[in-house]
Structure 1
Amino acid sequence: MPTAPASPDPTMEAIGQAVTEGRTGNTLSARRKLLDLWSAIGVTGDPLHRCSLAHYLADLYEDPAQALAWDVRALDAADAVTEQRVQEHHASLHIAGFYPSLHLNLADNYRRLGSFNAATEHINAAKEHAPDLPQDAYGALLRTALDEVAEAISRRDTTKRPSAPGPTA
């Protein structure tokens, strides 16, 4: 996880503040703040902003269908983010490192919705991108989650994983 951006980015700072708020239990307020930011950014705004916001906003929905809509937006935006833009935000980041998590979240949502073929496609894509994960605690966390989701898909299990991000039911 980056420690300091290459240059100040008020939008990324606002996203980070809302994410922190959501992780401390104030899900509704965090969701409102992120939705307000989404309106300000717009669907054609900075792809890094759209990707980051949608990725984190998805985690604030208990309903996998609602989360899926935001995770699709995050993946679409990631496809428009350039390596240069990511590096402008933080020199230690690479856009390739985003894809394992983005595909993992899609796989998990599809699995929870019982769409196991789509879940399998995305877990396979996540695994293909797994070599791009950092060799740190974050990378280990995602590798574990990849294994958990793959196992749940193979069992045709639609229950929420205890380790999944987001609000608890």
Structure 2
Amino acid sequence: MVRMDTPDAVMARIAQGQELAVTGDREGARRIFEEVWDALAGPGDDTPDPLHVVTLAHYLADVQTDPAEELRWDLRALAAADSLTDDRARQHHSSLRVAGFYPSLHLNVAAAHHALGQSSEARHHLDRAAQSCEHLPENRYGRTIRGAVERLRAELDADAVGPQGQSEHRAQHR
């Protein structure tokens, strides 16, 4: 889990959900994430904080069982990143830069398209992920994302599509 420089109750609640997801309690994580989402998207004139939206949608995608729902949340996370600023990201943690979000976000969108048998869309987002990998740090996280990009590219190149148009082997992109 990322150390927070400043307290943020929404991010702390998202982190609680992510802890459940990591331990295998996807349903528990989904409940927490949906509770937070309902609070963010509730009535009111306030536009939700893009950092909250990108983080929550990114993690909500990970706990979906339906690839179409996963894609819907992945696209929501990607759209939210477009309105996120480096200043806001750094308020959460001083090391964060929005450009560093895009490799993982595009990779997840590509993997979801691939799972749905949408190779052209998958390749488009995978190319975007690969292009934005230059913004990743040279650490374990950066190596993980770069490796996942390479694995998904190999899957797409092998055209490993199963009977229902879903990938036989989902990319290990998380």
**TM-score computed with the length of structure 1 as normaliser:** 0.92
CA RMSD of aligned residues (A): 1.4
Partners in 2 of 1:11 and 1:159 — Cα distance?
Answer: 36
Structure 1 residue 111, shift from structure 2 partner: 0.8
1:52 to 2:55 alignment: yes
| Structure 2 counterpart of 1:132 | 135
| Structure 1 counterpart of 2:100 | 97
| Structure 1 counterpart of 2:77 | 74
| Structure 2 counterpart of 1:9 | 8
**TM-score computed with the length of structure 2 as normaliser:** 0.90
1:113 to 2:116 alignment: yes
Partners in 2 of 1:59 and 1:160 — Cα distance?
Answer: 16
Contact 1:111–1:156 (CA under 8 A) maintained in structure 2: no
Partners in 1 of 2:81 and 2:171 — Cα distance?
Answer: 27
Cα 1:162–1:124 shift into 2, 3 Å:
closer
Question: Which amino acid is 2:20 matched to?
Answer: E
Larger radius of gyration: 2
* Identity %, equivalent residues: 40
Partners in 1 of 2:4 and 2:27 — Cα distance?
Answer: 27
Secondary structure of the equivalent of 1:14?
Answer: helix
Structure 1 residue 117, shift from structure 2 partner: 0.5
Unaligned segments of structure 2, at least 5 residues = 161-166
Contact 2:151–2:171 (CA under 8 A) maintained in structure 1: no
Structure 1 residue 162, shift from structure 2 partner: 6.3
Cα 1:77–1:132 shift into 2, 3 Å:
same
1:87 to 2:77 alignment: no
Partners in 2 of 1:49 and 1:160 — Cα distance?
Answer: 31
Contact 2:145–2:173 (CA under 8 A) maintained in structure 1: no
Partners in 2 of 1:153 and 1:9 — Cα distance?
Answer: 39
Partners in 2 of 1:42 and 1:99 — Cα distance?
Answer: 23
Question: Which amino acid is 1:95 matched to?
Answer: V
How many residue pairs get aligned? The number is 164
Cα 1:164–1:92 shift into 2, 3 Å:
closer
Structure 1 residue 81, shift from structure 2 partner: 0.4
Contact 2:108–2:173 (CA under 8 A) maintained in structure 1: no
Contact 1:7–1:88 (CA under 8 A) maintained in structure 2: yes
Partners in 2 of 1:62 and 1:156 — Cα distance?
Answer: 22
